[in-house]
Amino acid sequence: MKTPQLWRLGIKDLQMMSAPRHRAHLKKPTWIIVLISLVSVFLVCAYVFPPRNTSACYVFSSSSCKVFADWLPPAPARELTDEEVASRVVIRDILNTPQAISKNPKIAFMFLIPDALPFEKLWDEFFQGHEDRFSVYVHASKGKPVHTSRFFLDRDIRSEKVVWGRISMIDAERRLLANALKDPDNQHFVLLSDSCVPLRDFDYVYNYLMYTNVSYIDKFRDPGPHGSGRYSEHMLPEVEKKDFHKGSQWFTMKRQHALIITADSLYYTLFRDFCKPGMEGDKNCYSDEHYLPTFFHMLDPAGIANWSVTHVDWSEGKWHPKSYKADDVSMELVKNITSITENVHMTSDEKKEIQIRPCLWNGERRPCYLFARKFFPETLDRMTMLFSNYTKHSLG
Ligand SMILES: *[C@@H]1O[C@H](CO)[C@@H](O)[C@H](O)[C@H]1NC(C)=O
Ligand SMILES: *[C@@H]1O[C@H](CO)[C@@H](O)[C@H](O)[C@H]1NC(C)=O
Ligand SMILES: *[C@@H]1O[C@H](CO)[C@@H](O)[C@H](O)[C@H]1NC(C)=O
Ligand SMILES: *[C@@H]1O[C@H](CO)[C@@H](O)[C@H](O)[C@H]1NC(C)=O
Ligand SMILES: *[C@@H]1O[C@H](CO)[C@@H](O)[C@H](O)[C@H]1NC(C)=O
């Protein structure tokens, strides 16, 4: 696909370059024209055949080929902007710096809620007895919550209003990350909502997240209207359509990833300005579904798992995922979710292509999910009752 385009480009460029000169020397001997033609052919060949392994080199002598390979851009890759160079060098350096070993490594549980946390009692049980191995942060976007658990007292951070689907959602996530990063003991960061519940006991969650070598950031390629269809070319040149990915916002991430998200302003700004509801008239783009998947796809694809450890049930095929009522909650439901070892993504085009991948933890197959949503507040009592049961009789 690329070659004919380049060929055209090459010819066009050469015509533009050589045309004026051509006219000026019209009366000069024809050997100049011949020379220009030869150089043109040479240039075109050099463009068409990748410089590294050029068949063109067989046509001309290998030494002249080498000279050309030196000044021609290697592949038609575009030149990075100053901001991209700066951004990439910072990100690369953070990713390559080994993490400082903390004597008391903790997991930061970051709750992004409106003004109440209906499952506080359940989380209190979850945290019970593990006091030194976690920290809690609460971002309440609609008003100060009344806390009942000692683990949540004085854990509210300065918060702002969050509008669903708007950049204020990413702002809140970054605010939580920045606050949690202040504690150097925090090594892994979990984002949770008011409708999330734990599916495992604390030790299981702690070991799963603390000893993993990736961040659990959901990501897949969706060529449909709810995927690439939301992309805006205003993001060029930094974000190309092929880089645009989709995924659930509920992440867990390693400290280095939390740092690069906090340090990023280039990609954040592009998503803030060009991925929002009502973009270009009728196009709806939601930064919370695209910013992190796209960012990590471009900057550290091997560093993320490509699925979220927070389960949600989209099987009803509606605009919103299934919300569990008290009657839906049972041991069987919990067992069903915790026994899943494959993650599933479906594209939003007519093909509705289903992508199924095994959940790999440091290369070995493990259950995918540690948390689940969305649970109505009315399920609290049943979930709390079940919790002690399913965590005591540890599930497979
Ligand atoms: C370059 O071409 C040579 C000869 O055709 C081949 O042996 C070599 O593997 C090629 N190198 C690359 C990087 O493709
Ligand atoms: C996630 O996907 C990327 C490619 O998009 C891949 O390089 C990476 O290995 C995947 N992560 C895991 C843990 O398999
Ligand atoms: C659990 O999974 C089984 C087998 O897929 C299914 O038949 C059953 O309805 C599920 N139960 C619940 C409560 O989701
Ligand atoms: C994580 O561990 C697996 C298994 O050892 C390995 O294949 C993979 O490359 C590792 N990923 C990273 C980002 O270190
Ligand atoms: C909890 O487990 C016990 C023993 O396995 C069982 O008898 C009891 O019914 C369970 N409770 C719930 C709410 O499932």
Specify whether 210 is located in the same domain as 251.
yes
Q: What is the CATH number of the domain that holds 276?
A: 3.90.550
Which ligand does the CA of 256 lie closest to? Answer: 4
Q: How many domains is the chain partitioned into structurally? A: 2
Asked if residue 72 has its Cβ within 6 Å of ligand 3, the reply is: no
Specify whether 195 is located in the same domain as 299.
yes
Average pLDDT over residues 251-274: 95
* Residue 171 Cα to ligand 1 middle (Å): 49
Please state the φ and ψ torsions of residue 12, each to the nearest 5 degrees.
-60, -45
Ligand 5 pocket test, candidate residues 330, 389, 390, 392, most atoms within 8 A of CB: 389
Asked if residue 364 has its Cβ within 6 Å of ligand 4, the reply is: no
Specify whether 152 is located in the same domain as 53.
no
Specify whether 58 is located in the same domain as 98.
no
Specify whether 103 is located in the same domain as 193.
yes
Specify whether 54 is located in the same domain as 99.
no
Asked if residue 363 has its Cβ within 6 Å of ligand 4, the reply is: yes
Among 11-25, 178-192, 232-246, 249-263, name the one with the lowest average pLDDT.
11-25
Q: Produce one character per residue of 154-192: b if its CB has 16 or more CB atoms within 10 Å, e if not.
A: ebbbebeebeebbbbbbbbbebbbebbbeeebbbbbbbb
Nearest residue (by CA) to ligand 2, atom 11, is 305
Q: Which of 309, 333, 362 is the last residue of a domain?
A: 309
Q: Is residue 301 part of a domain?
A: yes
Nearest residue (by CA) to ligand 4, atom 11, is 213
Judge whether residue 76 has pLDDT over 90. no
Percent of the chain past pLDDT 90, that is, above it, reads: 66
Q: How far apart are CA 318 and CA 148, in angstroms?
A: 35
Specify whether 57 is located in the same domain as 146.
no
User: Which residue ranges have their beta carbon within 6 Å of ligand 1?
Assistant: 52-53
Picking from 180, 145, 142, 146, the residue whose alpha carbon sits closest to that of residue 159 is 142
Average pLDDT over residues 1-17: 39
Asked if residue 334 has its Cβ within 6 Å of ligand 5, the reply is: no
Q: State pLDDT tens for residues 28-63.
A: 667 777 777 777 766 665 555 544 544 444 444 444
Nearest residue (by CA) to ligand 1, atom 6, is 53
* Residue 345 Cα to ligand 3 middle (Å): 20
Asked if residue 306 has its Cβ within 6 Å of ligand 2, the reply is: yes
Which ligand does the CA of 311 lie closest to? Answer: 3
Asked if residue 386 has its Cβ within 6 Å of ligand 5, the reply is: yes
Asked if residue 303 has its Cβ within 6 Å of ligand 4, the reply is: yes
Q: Is residue 180 part of a domain?
A: yes
Q: State pLDDT tens for residues 116-172.
A: 999 999 999 999 999 999 999 999 999 999 999 999 999 999 999 999 889 999 999
Which ligand does the CA of 211 lie closest to? Answer: 4
CA 1 to chain centre: 28
Asked if residue 73 has its Cβ within 6 Å of ligand 2, the reply is: no
**pLDDT score of 44:** 60
Q: Given the DSSP bridges, would you call strands 342-346 and 310-311 parallel, antiparallel or unpaired?
A: unpaired
Q: State pLDDT tens for residues 299-317.
A: 999 999 999 999 999 888 7
Specify whether 165 is located in the same domain as 224.
yes
Q: Is residue 60 part of a domain?
A: yes
Assign 18 a pLDDT band (cuts: 50, 70, 90).
very low
Q: Is residue 359 part of a domain?
A: no
Specify whether 66 is located in the same domain as 144.
no
Question: Which one has a higher pLDDT value, 98 or 187?
Answer: 187
Query: Which residues are 355's β-sheet partners?
Result: 345
Q: Which of 309, 326, 361 is the last residue of a domain?
A: 309
Q: Is residue 230 part of a domain?
A: yes
Ligand 3 atom closest to the Cα of residue 332 is 13
Asked if residue 385 has its Cβ within 6 Å of ligand 5, the reply is: yes
Judge whether residue 74 has pLDDT over 80. no
Ligand 4 pocket test, candidate residues 95, 254, 362, most atoms within 8 A of CB: 362
Average pLDDT over residues 67-74: 47
Three-state secondary structure string covering the chain: CHHHHHHHHHHHHHHHHHHHHHHHCCCCCHHHHHHHHHHHHHHHHHHHCCHHHCCHHHHCCHHHHHHHHHHCCCCCCCCCCHHHHHHHHHHHHHHHCCCCCCCCCEEEEEEEECCCCCCHHHHHHHHCCCHHHEEEEEEECCCCCCCCCCCCCCCECCCCCCCCCCHHHHHHHHHHHHHHHCCCCEEEEEEEECCCEECCCHHHHHHHHHCCCCEEEECECCCCCCCHHHCCHHHCCCCCHHHCCECCCCCEEEHHHHHHHHHCCHHHHHHHHHCCCCECCCECCCHHHHHHHHHHHHHCHHHEEECCCEECCCCCCCCCCCCECHHHCCHHHHHHHHCCCEEEEECCCCCCCEEEEECEECCEECCCCCEECCECHHHHHHHHHHHHHHHHCCCC
Question: Which one has a higher pLDDT value, 110 or 282?
Answer: 110
Nearest residue (by CA) to ligand 3, atom 6, is 336
Nearest residue (by CA) to ligand 5, atom 4, is 389
Q: Is residue 390 part of a domain?
A: no
Range of the domain at 44: 40-70
Specify whether 47 is located in the same domain as 178.
no
Ligand 1 atom closest to the Cα of residue 52 is 13
Q: Which of 274, 309, 344 is the last residue of a domain?
A: 309
Q: Is residue 105 part of a domain?
A: yes
Q: Is residue 369 part of a domain?
A: no
**pLDDT score of 49:** 52
Specify whether 118 is located in the same domain as 263.
yes
Specify whether 46 is located in the same domain as 186.
no
